[in-house]
Structure 1
Amino acid sequence: MDLIESAEDRAFRAEVRGWLEEHLTGEFAALRGLGGPGQDHEAFEGRLAWNRHLAEHGWTGIGWPREHGGRGLSLWQQVVFHEEYARSGAPARVNHLGEELLGPTLMAFGTPEQQERFLPPILAAEELWAQGYSEPGAGSDLANVSTRATLEGDTWVLDGQKVWTSNAHLSDWLFVLARSEPGSQRHRGLSFLLVPIEQEGVDVRPIEQLTGGSEFNEVFLTGARTPASHVVGAPGDGWRVAMALLGFERGVSVLGQVIGFARELEAVVDLAGSTGAVEDPVLRDRLAGLAVELEVMRWQALRGLSGATPGGDSVFKLVWAGWHKRLGEVAMDVRGLDGLVARPATEDSAYELDELQRLFLFSRADTIYGGSDEVQRTILAERVLGLPREPKGAQR
C-alpha cells in the first residue's frame, strides 16, 4: 500500500469530513462520542438509527466489492474514512462484528445462497451479529472449545456455553465455533455455524462489569437449532474459517481506533494543564512518551496493512493494548484523589463514572480480550521467530 496520500485521496478525505459535518446534526448530534468498548450500553437505539442512516447513504461496507453491495474503495480510502469518522466524534457503530468480520468471511467462504441471505441485511444494519468463540475453558486457547454441534437430518443441534460474547443481548444472530466431530481434538473436527439467537435453545445472560455496563454476556446453548445449510465452509473445517475471520478483525478500522486514542490522550493533557499536574516533570515526561508512542503506533498499523511487518497483527495488538492501559493509569494520576470518587447512582447503575474513570477500568482488560498478551507473544515466538513450540499443557 502506498502510504503517500494522493490528490484523489485528499479529495475523498474532504468528502468524508464534509458529509459527517452535514449529517451529525439534529437528532444525531447528541450521539457524538457515545458507544465503543466499555460504553456499548450508551444510546443503543439512537446509534442503531445512525448506523442505518450511514447505510442509506452508502457508508457501510465501503471496502466490500461492488458485486456484494459495497463501494469497493481502496485500502487507503478505507483508512481515510475510519480516521475521519473517529476524528468527527461520530458514535461507535453497532454492527462492527457483522460488517467488518462476518461479512468478509462469508465472501471468502460462504455459498452464494449464504451471501445472498446474509450480506444485504448486514450492510443495511438490519441484522446484528455476535461472536460465539470463547468458552469458560477455551478463551485465548480457542482450539479447546467443547460446545457440541450434532447434525440431525437437515438441522444442526448445539449444546454448550459461550462467554464474553459482546452484545449478544442486542444481536439477532451468533456465529459459533463448535465441535461437530465426536472424539476430535484441538483444531480438527470444528465447524463454523450461523445460529439465530431468538429461539428457546439460546439463553443470553449479561455480565455486569466494573464500568457499570454489561456488553459482555454468557450464552447457554441447550438444544439450539440452525439449518444444516448454515455451516460456513465444509463441516469440520471450522478452524480455518474462524482464523480467517480473526484476520479481518484487525483491519483498516484500527486506524480509526488510533484517532480515538488521540482524542483520549488530548483530554488527559487538557486536564493536566487545567489542574497544574503538567508541572510535574515526571508526569509531563509520561504524557510526552505516550504522544510519541501513539504516532509510532499509527505508522506501525499502516505498515501492517501494507504487509510490511511479519506478525503485524500480533505486534499491533500488543502495542495498542499496553499503550491504552498506561494511558488509563496516567489519567488517574492526573485526576489525583478526585479520581477515586464515583458519581451518585442512577436508575441504570449503582454508580456513574466519568470518561477517564471508565478509561482506566476498561483498559485493564485490553491486554486480555481479543487475544491476551501471552498468546500474542507465543504467536510471534513460534510463527515469526521460529522458536520451539510451547509444550502442551504449559501455562499461558
Structure 2
Amino acid sequence: MDFNDTPEEATYRAQVRSWLDKNAVRKADAKDLPLPKTLEEVLKQSKAWQAKKADAGYACITWPKEWGGGGGTTIQNVIYGQEESNYAVPGGIFAIGLGMCIPTVMAWGPEDAKKRYVGPAVRGDEIWCQLFSEPAGGSDVAGLRTRAEKDGDEWVINGQKVWTSGAHYSDFGIVLTRTDPNVPKHKGLTMFYIDMKSPGVEVRPIKQMSGGSDFNEVFFTNVRVKDSQRLGNVGDGWKVALTTLMNERLAVGGSQGNADADDLIELARETEIAGEPAIRNGAVRERIANWYVQAQGLKFTRFRTLTALSRGETPGPESSISKIVAANKMQELGSFGMDLQDMGGVIRDRSVSPAEGAYTEQWIGAAGYRIAGGTDEILRNIVAERVLGMPQDVRVDKDLPFNQAPRGK
C-alpha cells in the first residue's frame, strides 16, 4: 500500500488544513486558552464545533449527504482526522453516538427513524448513549437481565444498566433487552432506541476516583417504548449488538487525544535524570521506542479496518487487536510519564504539574479503557477464536435456556 497522498488527496488535505486554520487553534498555540470549567460549557463548545463541522461537510464525512454527512470517501475521512488531531478542538461528547449508536440505527432502523435521528446527531443537536452493561452480567453482555415485555404495540422495559457513559447528558440511547428467557442467552435479545427523558428512566451518575462522573447507573421502571422503536427483528438483538460492538472496539482502539510516544519524547527533552535531559538516557529511549513501534502497528492495523469500511463491510474481530494494545499502551505510557516528572508527576493541578496533569489523568483514566468496549480477557478470547482459529473457551451455559443457566446465590 502506498501511503503517500495522490494529487487529489493532497488537494483535499490542503483544503482541510486551510479550513482548520481559519476555524480552530493549533495545539502548539492553545496552551494559554481557558479550559471549560463546567459540563454545560463543555457541551456548548462541543455542539458549536460539531455544527460548524457539519456546515462545512466535515462531520461524518463518509455518510450520505441526505443524512447530514459529507458524502465523501474513507480516505478523506482519514485525512481530516489526521489534520484535526493537530488542533485544540472539543471531542468525545459525540464519539458514542456517531461512532456506535447511529451506525446501528442506520444499519437496522426503519427509514423514518433514519430520517428523523441521523441528521440531528451529525449536527450535534442530539446526543446518544449506549445501554448494554449490567451489574449481574459483568463482561458478559449476553448475560443481561433487563427485560422487555410486549403489551399491544408497545414494549415495557424494566431493569438496570451500569457504566453508561454520558447518560446524564444524552437525549437518546440504544438499549439491549431480554425478550425471551426460554432460549439460550444470545438468542432471546432485542434492541430498541429510547428517549432518555421517557417516564421511568432514572440516571444516577457514578463518582469516579479521577474526580469525574462520566459513567452512570440507569434504571428502567415500566418504561414504555413503541414497537416502531425496535432495531432489527425480535430475538435478533445479539446480531444487532455486534454491529455496535465492532464499531465500539474500532472507536476505542483508535481513540485520539491521549499522550503518545511523540508527546513523551518532548517530555523527556524537558525533564532531567542525573543532571541531563532524560532523552539521553538509554533506558528511557528504549521504552519510548517500544511505544512508538506499537503506535505504528496500531496505525497500520487500523488502515486494514479502514480498507474493510471502504468496501462497505462491518469492522471485524481484528478491531479487538487494536483495542487490547491501545488501552494497555495508554496506561503504561501514562505511568511512565508520571515517573519522568518525579514528585510532580502525581499532581493533577495543571498550574503546577510539568505536563499540566496530562499523564496523571491518562494513567487514572486508562483502567476504564481496558474495560470499555470489552475487557482485555474477552477481547483476547475473540482474537484467539475468530482471528487465530483456536478452539473456543468452555461455556457451560452456551446451549441452556437463559432461565435455566446457573447463577450465584
Return the TM-score normalized by structure 2: 0.84
Aligned identity (percent) is 35
Question: Does the alignment pair 1:265 with 2:268?
Answer: no
Once the two structures are overlaid, the 10-residue window that deviates more, 383-392 or 171-180, is 383-392
Aligned with residue 345 of structure 2, among 339, 347, 356: 339
Cα displacement (A) at 1:240: 0.7
Cα displacement (A) at 1:253: 8.8
Q: Which residue of structure 2 aligns with residue 179 of structure 1?
A: 178
Alpha-carbon RMSD:
2.9
Q: Could you say what secondary structure the match of 1:192 adopts?
A: strand
TM-superposition CA deviations, 1:118-147 (whole Å, max 9, x none): 112212221110000111122421111110
Question: Does the alignment pair 1:369 with 2:372?
Answer: yes
Which letter does structure 2 place at the counterpart of 1:317? K
Cα displacement (A) at 1:73: 1.3
2-structure distance, mates of 1:40, 1:80: 30
Q: Is the 8 A contact 2:204 2:218 kept in 1?
A: yes
Distance 1:162 1:339, change over 3 A: same
TM-superposition CA deviations, 1:175-216 (whole Å, max 9, x none): 000001243331111111011111330110111112211111
Distance 1:3 1:108, change over 3 A: farther
Q: Could you say what secondary structure the match of 2:344 adopts?
A: helix
2-structure distance, mates of 1:93, 1:388: 37
Distance 1:341 1:254, change over 3 A: closer
1-structure distance, mates of 2:153, 2:233: 15
Cα displacement (A) at 1:330: 0.9
2-structure distance, mates of 1:286, 1:122: 41
Q: Which residue of structure 1 aligns with residue 271 of structure 2?
A: 275
Distance 1:343 1:248, change over 3 A: closer
Unaligned runs of at least 5 residues, structure 2: 310-314, 351-355, 398-409
Question: Does the alignment pair 1:360 with 2:366?
Answer: no
2-structure distance, mates of 1:298, 1:364: 22
What does 1:64-103 correspond to in 2, within 5 Å?
Answer: 64-103=63-102
Q: Is the 8 A contact 1:290 1:323 kept in 2?
A: yes
What does 1:152-163 correspond to in 2, within 5 Å?
Answer: 152-163=151-162
Question: Does the alignment pair 1:5 with 2:5?
Answer: yes
Q: Is the 8 A contact 2:191 2:232 kept in 1?
A: yes
Which letter does structure 2 place at the counterpart of 1:74? T
Question: Does the alignment pair 1:319 with 2:325?
Answer: yes
1-structure distance, mates of 2:367, 2:181: 38
Question: Does the alignment pair 1:15 with 2:15?
Answer: yes
2-structure distance, mates of 1:148, 1:32: 47
What does 1:39-58 correspond to in 2, within 5 Å?
Answer: 43-58=42-57
Q: Is the 8 A contact 1:206 1:214 kept in 2?
A: yes
2-structure distance, mates of 1:68, 1:42: 28
Cα displacement (A) at 1:271: 2.5
Q: Is the 8 A contact 1:79 1:253 kept in 2?
A: no
Q: Which residue of structure 1 aligns with residue 404 of structure 2?
A: none
2-structure distance, mates of 1:186, 1:373: 22
Distance 1:33 1:174, change over 3 A: farther
Q: Is the 8 A contact 1:176 1:193 kept in 2?
A: yes
Distance 1:54 1:243, change over 3 A: same
What does 1:279-318 correspond to in 2, within 5 Å?
Answer: 279-307=280-308, 311-318=317-324
Return the TM-score normalized by structure 1: 0.87
Cα displacement (A) at 1:94: 2.1
TM-superposition CA deviations, 1:330-355 (whole Å, max 9, x none): 111111122234449xxxxxxxx822
What does 1:188-267 correspond to in 2, within 5 Å?
Answer: 188-251=187-250, 257=255, 260-261=257-258, 264-267=260-263
Distance 1:24 1:122, change over 3 A: same
Unaligned runs of at least 5 residues, structure 1: 345-352
1-structure distance, mates of 2:296, 2:91: 22
Cα displacement (A) at 1:312: 1.8
Distance 1:323 1:33, change over 3 A: farther
Q: Which residue of structure 2 aligns with residue 347 of structure 1?
A: none
Distance 1:32 1:6, change over 3 A: farther
Q: Is the 8 A contact 1:169 1:204 kept in 2?
A: yes
Q: Is the 8 A contact 1:32 1:90 kept in 2?
A: no
Distance 1:223 1:310, change over 3 A: closer
Distance 1:271 1:76, change over 3 A: same
Higher relative contact order (CA 8 A, sep 6+): 1
2-structure distance, mates of 1:354, 1:211: 12
2-structure distance, mates of 1:292, 1:102: 32
1-structure distance, mates of 2:238, 2:367: 29
Distance 1:388 1:264, change over 3 A: closer
Q: Which residue of structure 1 aligns with residue 135 of structure 2?
A: 136
Cα displacement (A) at 1:42: 7.0
Q: Is the 8 A contact 1:199 1:224 kept in 2?
A: yes
Distance 1:66 1:343, change over 3 A: closer
Once the two structures are overlaid, the 10-residue window that deviates more, 94-103 or 371-380, is 94-103
